[in-house]
Amino acid sequence: MNIIQRIIPFFFFTLIFLSFYFLNYQQVYSGSYESDTSEHIIILKQYFSGEKYIPHPLWHYCVYYISKILTISIENAAVLFSSILMFTWVVIIFNYVKLQLHNHVSIQYQYYLYILFSFVILFIGPLVIPGDYIIYLGKGSPNIWHNITIFMVKPIAFLTLIFMMQAWKTDNRKYYFITYFFAILTLFAKPSFLIIFLPTIVIVAVINKVYSKNFIMYVLLLSVTSVSILLYQFVNTFGTTEVIFDYLGVWSRTSQNIGLSIALGLAFPLLFTIIRSEILYEKLFQIAWIQVLLGVLFYAFLAQSGKQYLHGNFSWSYMIAMNFIYIFTIVRFIKDFFSIGKIGRILLSFLLFLQVSIGVYYFNKILMGQHPIYISISFLRL
């Protein structure tokens, strides 16, 4: 790798980190940048003073001990750790892209292309059309910038999926153990992932007749451990509120046409899967799409009563699944690019460009301090 090939990634990663640091700093200190980080800082302080229980305290513990080790304030530790957390996600995506595409890109331009494709994955947004001009509202987004526990769970959840695929491929206990460790760890970051991951791998195993002894032992152990932890978290969290059946109650508050919102939120993966439907025979895409379906069901049928009702806490499983299906379909699109028909290539390339443009616009507006839920593309207003 020559000097230019070293400089470009350095500037890319530096610019990304500085952007994240600026965003996190504003979200903690400005008082006008919308996010839940400030709320989590308050919860952290209450937790470590013995006033409050946190069901998924991984972010809070990391921030607390960074503040102690570096002798800085909780607020400064939150800014620093959150920025490192976001940057870690960038590094994971960059290396995943590099690993998957090293045989599919020109050696001469490979690092430029790795950066480009990573950028696409990291900043792509949902599709917006005339009449449905608000970017996030109702649709969600594959990339979310106002919820720090999403960034806490995503790297761990993604590694869980990657090692799960390796465990199935090799039936090696080592990979099952690594997957088990990461899966349990996600419960302490944000339980939204595991509640769709566990039923998904059982469904995919049944579809593909994966009945090895190692897998069955893994599922049993993961089920017992995770259900025990989730029950403990549930009992201690929902003392003043409860999980209720509420068909489209929360979702309908943000979307007048939920079917359209789903189609716009998942535009690129849906079109790619229609064009390359054979991917549905592969375990990776079966996992990714079943997680999306389960995420939709959780969002559509469940809610948290009381003052948490409008927070849409059962939407986060869908948002995580949405992010992952975008990662896998974008990487596969790049791999299969020249084997896709001309019309399909043009449609997918145009849609990808459109959604990345929307996502970059969305992130830029968030950096400028606009409310992430209500950012819109005004010329699409009818």
Q: Average pLDDT of the chain?
A: 93
Which pair of structure tokens corresponds to residue 140?
């969600």
pLDDT of residue 323: 98
pLDDT at 125 over 60: yes
Lowest mean pLDDT among 45-59, 65-79, 270-284: 45-59
Rounded Cα gap, residues 299 and 302, in angstroms = 6
pTM comes to: 0.95
154 in Cβ contact with 90 (< 8 Å)? no
Q: Tell me which residue has tokens 């910038």.
A: 145
How is 126-188 classified by DSSP, letter by letter? ---BTTB-BSSTTT--SS-SS-HHHHHHHHHHHHHHHHHHHHHHH--HHHHHHHHHHHHHHHH
pLDDT of residue 350: 97
Q: What are phi and psi of 243, to 5 degrees?
A: -80, 130
Confidence of residue 213 (pLDDT cuts 50, 70, 90): very high
Which pair of structure tokens corresponds to residue 9?
């990634």
- Give the number of C-alpha atoms closer than 13 A to the C-alpha of residue 280, restricted to the C-beta side: 10
175 in Cβ contact with 167 (< 8 Å)? yes
Which has the closest alpha carbon to 72: 114, 28, 7? 28
CA distances from 149 to 86, 123, 155, 242, 368 (A): 11, 18, 11, 21, 22
Rounded Cα gap, residues 119 and 341, in angstroms = 25
How is 173-216 classified by DSSP, letter by letter? HHHHHHHHHHHHHHHHH-TTTHHHHHHHHHHHHHHHT---HHHH
Which pair of structure tokens corresponds to residue 214?
């190692």
pLDDT of residue 138: 92
pLDDT at 240 over 70: no
pLDDT at 141 over 90: yes
How is 72-91 classified by DSSP, letter by letter? --HHHHHHHHHHHHHHHHHH
Higher model confidence: residue 235 or residue 63? 63
pLDDT at 239 over 60: no
Which pair of structure tokens corresponds to residue 6?
């070293």
Residue 137's identity, in one-letter code, is L
Q: What are phi and psi of 271, to 5 degrees?
A: -65, -45
Q: Helices 3-29 and 110-123, interaxial angle, to 10°?
A: 20
